[in-house]
DNA sequence: CCGGTATGTCTTTTT
DNA sequence: GACATACCGG
């Protein structure tokens, strides 16, 4: 562990009321206002409190005016929360903090002011991920590259990767060109960028890249912002990518009052370009930086904290923290092995009902999964039980087909040059303007270097289109023109309604016999409702570009269901962590792509999961699971083995983790368990598991102090030998091809080769 | 031009 | 198993 080097708190004597109740470290973090500060804040250590108080302190002591503070977060939600909490501390002067927001929204603000310096107009549109892929695809098509091999999606990902690293096409290392389309990667990147300029558009990565270019080429502009931002604060610093890091470093050069807050153990966005390196390197980047560690945890019980700490200790390259708590001992972390995914959902459902019957609110409980496909089993189970639940993160509102279509209409009305919008809705609903007509328009547009709307007008004058197509296109163009006039003196919500109605778009869904149609109509109503909160169409479209969700409805009385990623920053009294199986968690795909770095990131994800829990943390794994419609056998996650056994209690039928009686404690904690609480031992699911395994006694076990971590995986010896024919409940008959501890590799007659635990097969 | 079937894909996700 | 895209036949 690196030695902590707390900075000298300036103004130590300050005794403003907002400082009350802070612990020493938090207080130091608030009062060390000048110079670079790295605040290493472990999970549940009151980070947000320290950070908002710090901002309040800067304002209160008039070290800075609200508009001189740059405060960046990653999500809109985090920005909103920060604003609200500062407001409770300093009141309305928070309104002056116009530089409080996400990286992207602040970069967009700056770019709008200087757009012409990179060849854009300040009215540029911001493209979302879907548009990016579409555009990338067009670029590939135009370059005559095999679209089967090199997809738009792939190109968009490569370009995104470069942008995350702050690389404009000219700066991409030559040897990286070969990663895509036989060396054409950079050329395609260039083509993509010039297409963006023609469209007067910027994607999310561009917002930052353009900022960097502007700052580097225009020292006067950079100096202006450097002067302005006398204090800077960055939340979730461990999630910054290189581009964001460069941006921050440029802006901080003058005053050097930059405070970065983060936790290297919670860096879980590496796959999106985040560099943990940024936080590990902070003291080198900013010599003389004060490093303040927040290590007192106010959230979880000692067992939960102990389990999490033990788990994360397997990672190398950590700055190192020792979390501690004064809270009372609570229950140990529970690990439960079950037969299959259905049973897992059933048992968790039962647990939730039993907690509920003890008076716990549903909104105090959360199910956190590795990947969203795991959610379905729980949704189904909750539905049959009649339990209210709420999915966080699911399909995003503005990414839904109908909403994107509606937005395309509005965007086209606002900027007729928006070819992407034109493409999207010119034939939606069907107007008889299919591929052929579109090809004509594209040809004209490309030949003359004009937008598709303008090309349409020319096509109408020519005879290149059939009469029917021409009539239809004329009608469409006239409509768009008329709506653009209407837009000038109509409330945006009224306009949206009028347009969708007159375009026949509402009608299209009303006539649709798709089972999803009613839901889509509801979404359109919601969208119009959302528009009505804005006074101008521009205001609305600008807002939408940087926000993917509607304002969240509160989750009172509903179980939370979300991915581990979505859970970062949240906390719940009871947390369920299902699906702790090899290949799912850690995710095989992730490991295949990024090896050990990915494994460490998966482990951090596990750490994030466990540390969300305040009182009760319940991990589970299933021996069999249906993935993509196929049954797969699964081994318990290595992360389960890494949990320190003193903090863990295993509830499972004996066979599941393959231990013989001797490798377990003979001391059973069964007698200590409140039967009402753990009624699942008598419920149908449990009985089924018992019958299915058709083996021995089922008792919960406590692990005693022999050995340091759990050994649920491959301990014990199997009684089976290579070559033995066996029978498995789900996979049928097969022959053993290898034995490793109690893991068997079996070649099943009908299900192929699988790894199974020996207690799940019997000699045939 | 449209609507049907075949084929391929399937983390994590904010902006 | 579900969904999206792609291609083919009417």
Q: Are strands A69-73 and A231-234 parallel, antiparallel or unpaired?
A: parallel
Instruction: Write out the H or E segment, with its range, that includes residue A124.
Output: none
Q: How far apart are CA A270 and CA A322, in angstroms?
A: 24
A47 among annotated binding-site residues? yes
Q: How far apart are CA A608 and CA A264, in angstroms?
A: 11
- DSSP 8-state assignment for residue A746: E
Q: Is the dihedral of CA A598, A130, A370, A103 positive or negative?
A: positive
Residues contacting A630, CB < 8 A, separation 6+: none
Distance A449 CA to C3 C1' (A): 37
Per the structure, the residues numbered 134 to 173 in protein chain A that have their CB within 7 angstroms of any atom of strand C are 147
Distance A188 CA to C3 C1' (A): 29
- Nucleotide with smallest C1' distance to residue A133 CA: C5
Q: Is A57 left (phi over 0), alpha (psi -120 to 50) or beta?
A: alpha
Distance A271 CA to B13 C1' (A): 10
A42 among annotated binding-site residues? yes
Q: How far apart are CA A705 and CA A664, in angstroms?
A: 10
Contact, A291 vs A2, CB < 8 A? yes
A43 among annotated binding-site residues? yes
| Residues of A annotated as part of the active site | 47-48, 235-236, 266, 612
Distance A436 CA to C1 C1' (A): 35
Smallest CA-to-CA distance from A674 within A327, A346, A349, A354 is with A354
- Nucleotide with smallest C1' distance to residue A627 CA: C1
| Any strand C atom closer than 7 Å to A629 CB | yes
Nucleotides of C under 7 A from a protein CB: 1-2, 6
Instruction: Write out the H or E segment, with its range, that includes residue A381.
Output: helix A375-385
* DSSP string for A313-343: TT-SS------B--PPP-PPEEEEEEEEHHH
Strand, coil or helix: A37? strand
Per the structure, the residues numbered 532 to 591 in protein chain A that have their CB within 7 angstroms of any atom of strand C are none
Residue with CA nearest C1' of nucleotide B14: A75
- Nucleotide with smallest C1' distance to residue A605 CA: B12
- 3-state DSSP of A84-95: HHHHHHHHHHHH
Distance A624 CA to C7 C1' (A): 37
A437 among annotated binding-site residues? no
Q: Are strands A37-41 and A290-294 parallel, antiparallel or unpaired?
A: parallel
- Nucleotide with smallest C1' distance to residue A626 CA: C1
Terminal-to-terminal C-alpha distance of chain A: 55
Q: Would you give the distance in Å from CA A523 to the centre of its chain?
A: 23
* DSSP string for A505-540: HHHHHHH---TTHHHHHHHHHHHHHHHTT-SSHHHH
Residue A310, token pair as written in the block: 């033990």
- Nucleotide with smallest C1' distance to residue A104 CA: B15
Q: Which residues touch strand B (CB under 7 A)?
A: A 74-77, 102, 104-105, 128-129, 204, 271-272, 370-373, 393, 396, 427, 430-437, 469, 546-549, 562-563, 565-566, 587, 589-590, 593, 628
Q: How far apart are CA A756 and CA A761, in angstroms?
A: 8
Contact, A659 vs A715, CB < 8 A? yes
Strands, DSSP E only, in A36-159?
Answer: 37-41, 69-73, 100-102, 125-127
Residue A270, token pair as written in the block: 């590496």
Sheet holding A743-748, edge to edge: A752-757, A743-748, A732-740, A725-728, A761-763
Q: How far apart are CA A47 and CA A20, in angstroms?
A: 15
Q: How far apart are CA A718 and CA A745, in angstroms?
A: 12
Distance A569 CA to C6 C1' (A): 42
Residue A225, token pair as written in the block: 């912002």
Distance A435 CA to C7 C1' (A): 14
Smallest CA-to-CA distance from A188 within A152, A148, A242 is with A152
- DSSP 8-state assignment for residue A583: B
Smallest CA-to-CA distance from A318 within A79, A121, A604 is with A604
The pLDDT value recorded for residue A564 is 93
Burial class of residue A411, CB neighbours in 10 A (0-12, 13-18, 19+)? buried
Q: What is the pLDDT of residues A292-311, one digit of tens each?
A: 999 999 999 999 999 999 99
Segments of chain A with pLDDT less than 50: 1-13, 654-707, 713-715
- 3-state DSSP of A653-667: CHHHHCCCHHHCCCC
The pLDDT value recorded for residue A717 is 60
A41 among annotated binding-site residues? yes
Contact, A72 vs A103, CB < 8 A? yes
Q: Are strands A732-740 and A725-728 parallel, antiparallel or unpaired?
A: antiparallel
Q: Which whole-number Å values give the CA distances from A721 to A636, A651, A733, A737, in the listed order?
A: 22, 29, 15, 9
Specify which residues A39 forms β-bridges with.
Answer: A261, A292
Nucleotides of B under 7 A from a protein CB: 1-3, 10-15
| Any strand C atom closer than 7 Å to A358 CB | no
Q: How far apart are CA A250 and CA A215, in angstroms?
A: 8
The CB density around residue A510, as the number of other CB atoms within 10 Å, is 12
Residue A170, token pair as written in the block: 């000219």
The CB density around residue A546, as the number of other CB atoms within 10 Å, is 17
Distance A400 CA to B4 C1' (A): 24
Residue given tokens 């879907």 in the structure block: A130
Distance A512 CA to B8 C1' (A): 27
Contact, A229 vs A259, CB < 8 A? no
Per the structure, the residues numbered 668 to 727 in protein chain A that have their CB within 7 angstroms of any atom of strand C are none
Q: How far apart are CA A90 and CA A76, in angstroms?
A: 21
Residue with CA nearest C1' of nucleotide C2: A628
Residue with CA nearest C1' of nucleotide B11: A371
Instruction: Write out the H or E segment, with its range, that includes residue A673.
Output: none
Smallest CA-to-CA distance from A280 within A234, A309, A319 is with A319
The pLDDT value recorded for residue A164 is 92
Q: How far apart are CA A604 and CA A598, in angstroms?
A: 10
Q: Is the dihedral of CA A531, A536, A538, A542 positive or negative?
A: negative
The CB density around residue A185, as the number of other CB atoms within 10 Å, is 22
Strand, coil or helix: A311? helix
- Nucleotide with smallest C1' distance to residue A371 CA: B11
Residue A396, token pair as written in the block: 């995003």
Q: How far apart are CA A392 and CA A75, in angstroms?
A: 14
Instruction: Give the CA dihedral A127, A130, A134, A135, nearest 10 degrees.
Output: 20
| Any strand C atom closer than 7 Å to A628 CB | yes
The pLDDT value recorded for residue A692 is 32
Residue given tokens 């509160």 in the structure block: A554
Residues contacting A748, CB < 8 A, separation 6+: A728, A731, A732, A733, A734, A754
Distance A138 CA to B4 C1' (A): 26
The pLDDT value recorded for residue A593 is 80
- Nucleotide with smallest C1' distance to residue A147 CA: C6
- Nucleotide with smallest C1' distance to residue A74 CA: B14
A611 among annotated binding-site residues? no
Contact, A676 vs A611, CB < 8 A? no
Residue with CA nearest C1' of nucleotide B10: A628
């Amino acid at each position: 562990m690196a030695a902590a080097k707390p900075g000298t708190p300036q103004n130590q004597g300050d005794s403003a009321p907002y400082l009350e109740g802070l612990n020493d470290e938090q207080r130091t973090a608030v009062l060390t206002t000048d110079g670079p500060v790295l605040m290493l804040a472990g999970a549940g250590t009151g980070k947000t409190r320290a950070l908002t108080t710090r901002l309040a302190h800067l304002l209160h002591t008039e070290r800075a005016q609200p508009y001189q503070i740059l405060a960046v977060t990653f999500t809109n939600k985090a920005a909103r929360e920060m604003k609200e909490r500062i407001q409770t501390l300093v009141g309305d002067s928070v309104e002056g903090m116009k530089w409080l927001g996400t990286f992207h929204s602040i970069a967009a603000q700056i770019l709008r002011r200087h757009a012409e310096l990179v060849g854009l107009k300040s009215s540029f549109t911001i493209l979302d991920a879907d548009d990016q892929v579409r555009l990338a695809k067009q670029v590939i098509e135009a370059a005559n590259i095999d679209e089967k091999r090199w997809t738009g999606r792939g190109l968009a990902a490569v370009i995104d990767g470069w942008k995350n690293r702050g690389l404009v096409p000219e700066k991409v290392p030559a040897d990286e060109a070969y990663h895509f389309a036989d060396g054409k990667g950079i050329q395609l990147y260039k083509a993509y960028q010039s297409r963006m300029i023609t469209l007067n558009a910027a994607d999310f990565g561009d917002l930052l890249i353009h900022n960097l270019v502007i700052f580097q080429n225009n020292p006067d502009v950079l100096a202006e912002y450097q002067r302005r931002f006398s204090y800077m604060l960055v939340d979730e610093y461990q999630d910054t990518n290189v581009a964001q890091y460069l941006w921050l470093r440029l802006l901080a050069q003058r005053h050097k009052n930059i405070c970065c807050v983060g936790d290297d153990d919670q860096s879980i966005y590496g796959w999106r370009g985040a560099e943990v390196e940024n936080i590990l390197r902070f003291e080198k980047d900013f010599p003389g930086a004060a490093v303040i560690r927040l290590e007192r945890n106010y959230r979880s019980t000692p067992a939960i904290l102990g389990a999490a700490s033990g788990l994360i200790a397997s990672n190398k390259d950590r700055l190192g923290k020792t979390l501690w708590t004064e809270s009372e001992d609570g229950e140990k972390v529970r690990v439960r092995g079950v037969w299959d995914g259905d049973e897992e959902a059933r048992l968790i459902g039962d647990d939730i009902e039993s907690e509920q019957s003890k008076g716990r609110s549903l909104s105090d409980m959360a199910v956190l999964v590795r990947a969203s496909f795991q959610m379905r089993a729980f949704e189904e189970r909750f539905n049959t039980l009649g339990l209210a639940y709420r999915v966080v993160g699911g399909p995003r509102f503005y990414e839904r087909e109908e909403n994107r279509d509606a937005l395309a209409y509005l965007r086209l009305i606002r900027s007729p040059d928006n070819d992407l919008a034109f493409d999207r809705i010119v034939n939606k609903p069907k107007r008889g303007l299919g591929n052929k007509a579109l090809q004509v328009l594209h040809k004209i547009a490309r030949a003359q270097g004009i937008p598709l709307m303008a090309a349409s007008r020319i096509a109408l004058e020519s005879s290149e289109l059939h009469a029917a197509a021409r009539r239809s296109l004329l009608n469409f163009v006239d409509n768009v023109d008329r709506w653009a006039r209407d837009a000038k003196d109509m409330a945006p919500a009224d306009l949206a309604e009028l347009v969708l109605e007159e375009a026949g778009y509402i009608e299209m869904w009303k006539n649709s016999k798709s089972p999803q149609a009613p839901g889509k109509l509801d979404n359109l109503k919601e969208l119009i409702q959302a528009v009505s909160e804005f006074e101008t169409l521009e205001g609305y479209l600008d807002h939408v570009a940087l926000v993917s969700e509607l304002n969240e409805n509160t989750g009172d009385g509903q179980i939370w269901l979300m991915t581990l990623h979505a859970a970062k920053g949240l906390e719940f009294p009871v947390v369920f962590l299902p699906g702790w199986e090899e290949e799912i968690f850690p995710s095989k795909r992730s490991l295949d792509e990024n090896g050990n770095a990915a494994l460490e990131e998966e482990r951090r994800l596990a750490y994030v999961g466990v540390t969300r829990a305040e009182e009760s943390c319940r991990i589970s794994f299933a021996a069999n699971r249906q993935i993509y419609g196929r049954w797969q056998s699964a081994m318990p996650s290595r992360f389960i083995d890494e949990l320190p056994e003193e903090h863990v209690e295993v509830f499972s039928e004996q066979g599941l983790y393959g231990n013989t009686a001797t490798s377990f404690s003979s001391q059973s904690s069964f007698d200590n368990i409140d039967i009402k609480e753990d009624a699942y031992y008598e419920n149908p699911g449990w009985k089924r598991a018992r019958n299915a395994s058709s083996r021995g006694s089922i008792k919960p076990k406590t692990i005693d102090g022999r050995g340091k971590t759990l050994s649920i995986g491959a301990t014990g010896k199997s009684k089976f030998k290579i070559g033995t024919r066996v029978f498995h409940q789900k996979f049928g008959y097969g022959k053993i091809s290898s034995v490793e501890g109690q893991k068997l590799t079996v070649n099943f007659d009908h299900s192929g080769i699988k790894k199974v635990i020996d207690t799940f097969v019997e000699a045939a």
